[in-house]
Chains A and B, each alone.
Chain A
Amino acid sequence: MHTAIVIVVVLLVVISIAAGLIWVERRLLALWQDRLGPNRVGPLGLMQVLADMIKIFFKEDWIPPFADKAVFIIAPAITMVTTLLSFAFIPWAPNFVVFDSNFGILFFLGFSSLGVYSVVLAGWSSNNKYSLLGGMRASAQMLTYEVFMGISLMGVVMMADSFSFSAIVKAQQHMWFFIPQFAGFVVFFIAGIAETHRLPFDIPEAEGELVAGYHTEYSGMKFGMFFVGEYMGITLISAIIATLFFGGWLGPSFLPPFVWFFLKTFFFIGVFILLRAGLPRPRYDQLMEFGWKILFPLSLVNLLVTAAVLLFIK
């Protein structure tokens, strides 16, 4: 019964946060660009999300005649499902988690790998050169950053001696892991941006060159699923950063634990949006080079050093 309630709460909260982020991002971006952003629909423009939802549901759900229909329909669903499933392992507060698995991190890594399929299949099934190029870029980019995203987390796992998110949070009672694992944090954060293909790493959908990349042919709610999926990805990565490196729900007791968790998460969501506001998009080869030549060695060194230090201490 407890689990069922948790599931419902997590699902509702995550989806509303993701949807609300549409408004948050537009408002924040506007502020950083000296504009106002959506402010007409409802108080502070908050109903903009609702208006957008209504609009997107009423749009013609069009499938191009040249597309591979079945795959075309499945692709956007995959991104939603994999991201949502990952939330199952993240504790929002003590004992507030859907499934406190011993292998939480592995599950998360697994699901995010599966997320690649969504983009690749969307690009391929659209049967359109821009989509295909977007899909190919996305797969290369995500597979690359997947590798050291995993490795960068191993330092944390070693220090906490567990793959369970709850255990890792508890292991940060005395010191948040971003201090000993700063390198790991940096690598994971950057890999996280690439994994969600957010700006500045939105190369798969670079509108200046690929129209809209893998989702060029999508419209209506199918496009909406990609859209919401992206915001859920941001929320997920932010939540994981907060959990693994910044002590999750831990914090001074004048606020309840889940508030701390959300505060930390929202902080990183804000950073995501700030990155979008401030940074230009690198070239595709620069992105790959940066990944393989800098981040990958860095994460390996971090792993070795952590291992050596731990060995030395124990």
Chain B
Amino acid sequence: MAKIKIDGKQFEVEAGKNLLDTCLELGFDIPHFCFHPALGSVGSCRLCAVKKYKDEEDSRGRIVMSCMEPVTDGLIISTHDEEEKTFRAEVVESLMTNHPHDCPVCDEGGECHLQDMTVMTGHNYRQFDFKKRTYQNQELGPFIKHEMNRCIQCYRCVRFYKDYAGGKDLNVFASNNRVYFGRFEDGTLENEFSGNLTEVCPTGVFTDKTAHKHFTRKWDLSNTPSVCTHCSLGCNTLAGERYGTLRRIRNRYHGDINGYFLCDRGRFGYEFVGSDNRIKEIWKQNGNREVVSSESLSEVLSGAFQEGHNMVGIGSPRASLEANYSLLSLVGTDHFYHGVSAHEYELTKMALDFMQNSGIQIPTLKQMETADVVLILGEDLVNTAPRMALAVRQAARHSMNKDAGAKKIPEWTELAVRDNQPVLSTQIYVATPKKDSLDDVIKQPFRGGYSEIAALASSVAALLDKNAPAADSEHKKLASDIAKALQNAENPLIISGVTCGDKEVLQSACNVAQALLNNDKKVMLGMIFPESNSTGLSLFPGKPLADLFASSEKKPVDTLVVLENDLYRRAETGQVNDFLLKCKQVIVLDQLQNETTVKADVVLPAAVFSESEGTLVNNEGRAQRFYKAIPDGENGQARESWLWLNELKEIKENGFEGWSSLDDVFQSMLNELPAFAALKGKFPDEGFRMLGRKIPRESFRYSGRTSIHARESVSESYPPEDFDSPFAFSMEGQQEDPPSSLITSYWSPGWNSVQATNKYLDKPNGDLKGGNPGIRIFPTAAKSKTSYFKLNGSKSNKGTGEWQLFPVYQIFGSEELSAAASSLSERIKEPFLLLHPDDARDAGIDESTAVQVEIKNEKLTLRVNFENSLPRKVAGVSLQLPGMPFVALPGSGKITKM
């Protein structure tokens, strides 16, 4: 602790941090550009000048850059001395000499850090009489718009893109007064986190191209806290609405999960809500399609729910807990099936069982950043859980920090830390079948098929603990290196997941963790699940789809209700076709049209995440609420799934009074399902008020209130009411200091840009004031109750002529909903097969030709891509890209030339 004096006031603060960080934590408004809490300081913009005094007698002081000044005991500074104010104003004035007169057409305008700083420092008159410098822009792909004239050379973009996110195709070029930030040539920014440039850039050089199509200023957005539904990590997002449509997704700070950054799938995948494929009407299908009014729905469905009917419901890992529960309550526990394949069902149950009972630490992404040894088994992180890949990358940074720390280099002096370790030496081990995005920060890559990965992990476990099942890997040296590193680690982290799809990999990963646990080591286990609510769904009672298919052979299904689920992504086409033929009436609730909705007798339009409210459980067992950003009725007949199911239940049971709000559904779910008991009373319900008022979604400077609806009627009506959440669809209410889970916007006087986030945190890059949102529902077992998994050992397919096939996830395309987003679709690849060039030559296959792949009963036509990093006789098959049927992967299959 250090005692410092700022503007004559005493503070007791943590020593060793940088002064700017500390001042921001204390709430001082110190102007700054190049400093970003997550990126550290480089001292290049000279804006954060403060005056430092030698001692109490010193009245002259000297100007120092607060971001480069360590906090020491007895430090005396002032933040608004005349001289330093002039200094800062002049710095901004010089930065503004070349800044174009663009604000009216700039998408950053209104939430621009440069605008804020110009106002804050008081510069208001241009004295520079010469011409402005200009640049040519680059075309940076479907996500990011480039306008280089606006650049003020703060280097934040390359520091994020290159240093923080590991991107390789954005850099700084040229010299002198010509410094240029961009790619070597025009082209799509390849890094999966490029969207963060829009928030990192303090001006409008990089802006959101998707939001530009329906641009809305920050103050005009009606913001609602939401949770990303495109992977299992549950990153927090802010959904911005205007004129009844979703305008953009922005990062919502969560100290434990996403911090300041989102992946591109989470940021740009939202566009699927406006897809042409959206279902907006109730359809009755019987060869032809007929639109049904909501009033006559009960007539259409009256036959579906007769006494004695065999009624079955299929839940969904991408629907909220409440929607799944509504379905369960409609059909009854015995008739509720998880809408996942038997394989995924089993793996998920197994992983969750281990997580809950082993007493292992389930890390947050923030904790992963502090791991010193990381072992990743089978998971292609950047594609299955992108934000986790970014967190693991920071673990590499962490090792740099530790190294520098030993030499007394403070970790926030970004450049010095980097120079200290020009060649990265980390303890990250990645074992995957193909090259990984993290390869540039890892100690040693391991490339092998799933069975070899499992063998490697098993021998690591065996080396760590003699009681672990013995295993025999060909890579003894690597295994013992990893075992040694894990043994000596302070904070080891093991990552695997259900997404890799291999039971043995998953089991062996658990075995490594178990071995470390048995050695009384502290160990973290990161698990990745396929979809946003996979964890939540698996806590429901119910059976996998395969059971349903089997039982339908004996007892035909009279009425089938499918909740937000495309069965053709869960089981083989033929199997699903057979099953659906056996169902007399199929009712499907979904957002987008898919093969299942085509086969349905009745299709009910379900609301998307931005139009509904519910709870999702992420990969670490954290239950989080997302809220509706768009009032009901803006998208035709689309309604929230629980409302539809509620109506079906009213049709089915005459006496059922129905749930009147989501809180009712949630309450009865807690009463019925003990797995969620921990959530009781944890979410602010509809009755939540601050100072007697709801929390407004709209900013206090929301414009057009009396004009938006004037075209329909000049008489103003009441704003729509929200009966489910603590938010109001208006600007009326209590905006200041909401609970951390209910923040609708980052704003503070003088801080219109996203930098205002810091005002909501206990310290920059720290936790949200009042704690990070979400409730962890897994009780942590005090003692390990699990034992080692016995691995069956791999079946060798040598000599059978079959190939070992593993799934290749794609960040863009493998997830069902985001694949329908228009900007993402430009990045989605054609279904492909990854082959080692040597293997291909042996088989006589050329690159980019089409081949036929036969896996079990399914035949796929795929385009061949060469991949040097693959082990021999192992091939990767792109997973569930648009147009691909379900295939059981990993598995073995035949590849034939066409």
Question: Do any beta carbons of A and B sit within 8 angstroms of each other in the complex?
Answer: no
